[in-house]
């Protein structure tokens, strides 16, 4: 097959393809028109439809109780040489160097050691 024939051949095939595409496109267009018509009909039907608004559904409010878990640990911090103990977040507590600090899990244990509660506690 010569180069020319080859080109001619592919050109012909391309032409056929375009023709097919055109046909497909026409088909699509018809399909689109059909769909548009159907949609129109549906819309008409929909307008004739009496819209019944449903009663508002009363959903029971679920109250979720936040229960403080008794295992939630609080840490109190006191300076070894200090007189008061603090909550972890107290600025005084943050000033205590870790090596000088004493930690307590309960107020009572701090009180038992002779510390007094800071106003943050
Ligand atoms: Zn404090």
pTM: predicted TM-score of the whole model, two decimal places: 0.42
| Domain assignment of residue 101, given as a range | 76-117
Average pLDDT of the residues of the chain: 84
Q: Tell me, what's the pLDDT at 96? A: 96
Contacts of residue 29, Cβ cutoff 8 Å, sequence gap at least 6: none
29 within some domain: yes
Query: Is residue 28 in some structural domain?
Result: yes
Residues 6+ apart with CB under 8 A from 85: 76, 77, 78, 102, 104, 107, 110, 115, 116, 117, 118, 121
Give, as residue ranges, everything with CB less than 5 Å from ion ligand 1. 86, 90, 92, 118, 120
User: Is residue 113 scored above 80 in pLDDT?
Assistant: yes
Query: Is 32 a member of any domain?
Result: yes
Q: Give the number of domains in the chain.
A: 2
Band of residue 71 on the pLDDT scale cut at 50, 70, 90: low
Q: How far is the CA of 116 from the centre of ligand 1 (A)?
A: 10
- Calculate how far, in angstroms, residue 97's C-alpha sits from the geometric centre of ligand 1: 14
48 and 15 share one domain: yes
Tokens describing residue 34: 């059909």
What's the pLDDT tens digit per position in 18-70?
888 888 888 888 888 888 888 888 788 877 766 667 777 777 776 666 665 55
- The reply to whether 46 and 85 lie within a common domain is no
22, two tokens: 């055109």
Cα 93 to ligand 1 centre (Å): 6
Compute the distance from residue 78 Cα to the ligand 1 centre, in Å: 9
């Amino acid at each position: 097959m010569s180069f020319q024939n080859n080109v001619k051949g592919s050109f012909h095939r391309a032409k056929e393809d375009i023709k097919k595409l055109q046909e497909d496109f026409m088909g699509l267009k018809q399909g689109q028109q059909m769909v548009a018509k159907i949609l129109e009909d549906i819309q008409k039907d929909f307008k004739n439809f009496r819209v019944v608004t449903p009663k508002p559904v009363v959903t029971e409010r679920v109250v979720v109780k936040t229960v403080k878990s008794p295992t939630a640990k609080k840490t109190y911090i006191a300076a070894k040489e200090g007189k008061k103990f603090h909550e972890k977040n107290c600025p005084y507590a943050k000033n205590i160097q870790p090596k000088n600090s004493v930690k307590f899990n309960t107020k009572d244990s701090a009180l038992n050691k002779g510390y007094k509660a800071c106003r943050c506690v």
